[in-house]
Amino acid sequence: MLWSLTHTSYAKFAKLWLFTCAFLLRLPSEALPAFAGRGDHQSSVFMEGDTIVLVLKRRKNKPGGSRLVRTCWCSESKATCPVHQFGGMLRECVGQQLFEGITAASALAALREMLEGISVPNAASYRTHDFGRGHALDLQLSGARLRCAESSECTLCLVLQVRLYCKF
């Protein structure tokens, strides 16, 4: 069972971390400002058919922004599938900020508290940057590949073999 299910005060943080992992985001500048639905925001996330789409106006190393698309990966991990974990939430709160009230500092504090709660050694040394790095390593180890998106932009696309181990 996911730790956050029995510690409900952390549920919104667990969703934030899953969102950050699934899209390989920087938590403060890309994940926290996410708004549900299409809009003129730094970070907009919405359903498009059977996919979840994140549009970022700008990124640290890509001022022109990105359009990131994720498909269902329930066959690998239903608990971490972004389409099914966020689909209902996105439909219910169009126009709202997904993680309103959470700051980078509160996310970091909650991360360390959760890691201590599951007895991770050196929990105080973890940072929110570790989500992107850890997931990128998971992708590499699982054999995920890069493919060119239909647009002229080449983005990281998750293959069915993605292995994401969020043990909250």
Q: Are 66 and 153 in contact (CB under 8 A)?
A: yes
Please report whether residue 109 resides in a domain: yes
At 133-158, the pLDDT tens digits run 554 555 555 555 544 333 333 333 33
Looking at residue 103, what is its pLDDT? 94
Residue 160: band (very low, low, confident or very high) from pLDDT cuts 50, 70, 90: very low
The torsion region of residue 24 among left (phi > 0), alpha (psi -120 to 50) and beta comes to left
Residue 86 lies in a domain: yes
Per the model's pLDDT, the better-predicted residue between 161 and 140 turns out to be 140
Percent of the residues in the chain that have a pLDDT greater than 90, as a whole number: 24
Q: Is 164 contained in some domain? A: no
- Containing 35, the helix (H) or strand (E) segment is strand 34-36
Please give the tally of structural domains in the chain: 1
Residue at 107 is within a domain: yes
Domain span at residue 103 reads: 3-155
Q: What is the pLDDT of residues 25-80, one digit of tens each?
A: 888 888 999 999 998 999 999 999 999 999 999 887 778 888 989 898 888 888 88
Say what the pLDDT of residue 66 is. Answer: 87
Within a domain: 124: yes
Domain membership of residue 74 (yes or no) is yes
DSSP labels for 106-168?
HHHHHHHHHHHHTT-TTGGG--THHHHHHHHHHHHHHT---EE-SSS-EE----TT-------
